[in-house]
Amino acid sequence: MEDSFAFGHFLTDICESLSYEATTGRLPVLVSLRSGQQQEFWCKSRQSTRRKNLSNPRAIKTIARNVELRSSDTSIGTRHSVVNLRIEAELLMFIAQTGLNLSQAHKLRMDQFNYTSHLDGYQVRTYKNRRGGEVLFEVFSSYRDWFERYIEWRNAWFPDDCDGLLFPLVRLGGRLALEAPQFTALGRTCAELGVEMIKPRKLRGARINWLLRESLNPHQVADIAQHTAETLIRVYAEPNPQIAMVEISRFHRQADTAFCSPAPGTCVTSSPKSVLDAPVNAPEPDCINASGCLFCVNHRDIESEDHVWSLSSLRVLKSLELIRYRPACTDRSGEADHPAMLAVERLSAKLRFFQESSEVRRLWVGEALARIAEENYHPAWDGFIRLAEVTAGPSL
């Protein structure tokens, strides 16, 4: 897609450089690209830069006279190389806009075109058919002005061929070519300027893939491209990283039953419900409080070292919360039923399960406890622990 956009800019620069005034002006005709590159076209005159005998005054005068004669000759027989170059560029741009294949686009003939608004562009018919005739092609709204400027340029070069081909290519000597172009002029210019040439079939494929990326609707794009959806996907559609990421995310939202949990782990649903044997003072699950998740039937642990580290760090936070507890009387026997203590006991039971269930999990718990001893807490709880330590510090 990026190469197609770059090639489109290249075609635009060619068409803008080869206006009627430029193609009939003094030689050489200059094509300037937005990249800063330039290409000179001498239209078969003798370029002084290619002569070997530059020291010969007579040869220099001959070259200058030849250039003057060629510059004064603005006939199609002399300027056909730059005329063909713009027509080939316009034809490829037209194919990229309309989606027509080369044989269809090449056979289109001049007429007074009638534009009918359709979606975000126009349906184009011949003037004689008005609104009831067959649609010749469809274009985007922004292309209409460009297309009409090309019509004016084409009529200026071919004033006596008002009913001829829309894209008439000229052979050496001024005769019109009847067969479909091979894009030799454009291919030669691409080779000299180091630009990748993109032929009509690839341009049409790029157009279809751009429409697929923008609309994410294969059936609509298939209708625009006049193909079945199966043909579109099998023949034209190419993998796109952005679309793939969107589709993968959508699939996981629809198929994955796991939900993010405020506590370490995940939840199978976002409907909180307490476990049957929950203690009286246990925190109520509400999908907001991490302690409540520990007593929710929908909460699930994750079999990973990171999860064990997170459980251990949360236990530290709840321990600091318990330290800050100030009972109404000196009797602290009620601490056993404090919600923070119940959370600490629940976390300890989970860690004990991990430690006793397998050798690998035991190593996870050992590593997590070693990190806690070094005050290396899990990132999910580190900030909260630091703040709690500042608050609880004086009472330690």
At 164-223, the pLDDT tens digits run: 899 999 887 667 877 888 899 999 999 999 999 998 888 888 887 888 777 777 777 777
State the average pLDDT over residues 42-47. 67
Burial of 120 (0-12, 13-18, 19+ CB in 10 A): exposed
Q: What is the pLDDT of residue 396?
A: 40
Contact of 1 with 209, CB cutoff 8 Å? yes
pLDDT band of residue 306 (cuts 50, 70, 90) is very high
Integer Cα distance of 167 and 270 in angstroms = 63
Q: What is the pLDDT of residue 349?
A: 95
For the chain, state the CA radius of gyration: 38
Q: What is the DSSP string of 314-342?
A: HHHHHHHHHHT---SSS--GGGGG-HHHH
The tokens describing 229, both together, are 């959806």
Q: Dihedral angle at the C-alpha atoms of 27, 28, 29, 31, nearest 10 degrees?
A: -170
The answer to whether residue 251 scores a pLDDT higher than 70 is yes
Q: What is the pLDDT of residue 172?
A: 72
At 268-291, the pLDDT tens digits run: 888 889 998 888 889 999 888 899
At 330-354, the pLDDT tens digits run: 555 555 588 999 999 999 999 999 9
The answer to whether residue 232 scores a pLDDT higher than 80 is no
Most distant CA atoms of the chain, gap in Å: 119
Strands ordered across the beta sheet of 137-140: 113-118, 121-126, 137-140
7 versus 247: the higher-pLDDT residue is 7
The pTM is what?
0.58
265 versus 252: the higher-pLDDT residue is 265
Contact of 290 with 317, CB cutoff 8 Å? no
Contacts of residue 97, defined as CB under 8 A and 6 or more positions apart, other chains included, come to 139, 140, 143, 207
Contact of 8 with 90, CB cutoff 8 Å? no
User: What secondary structure letter does DSSP report for 393?
Assistant: G
Q: What is the pLDDT of residue 154?
A: 94
At 60-109, the pLDDT tens digits run: 677 677 777 777 888 888 889 999 999 999 999 999 888 888 988 999 98
The tokens describing 90, both together, are 């316009």
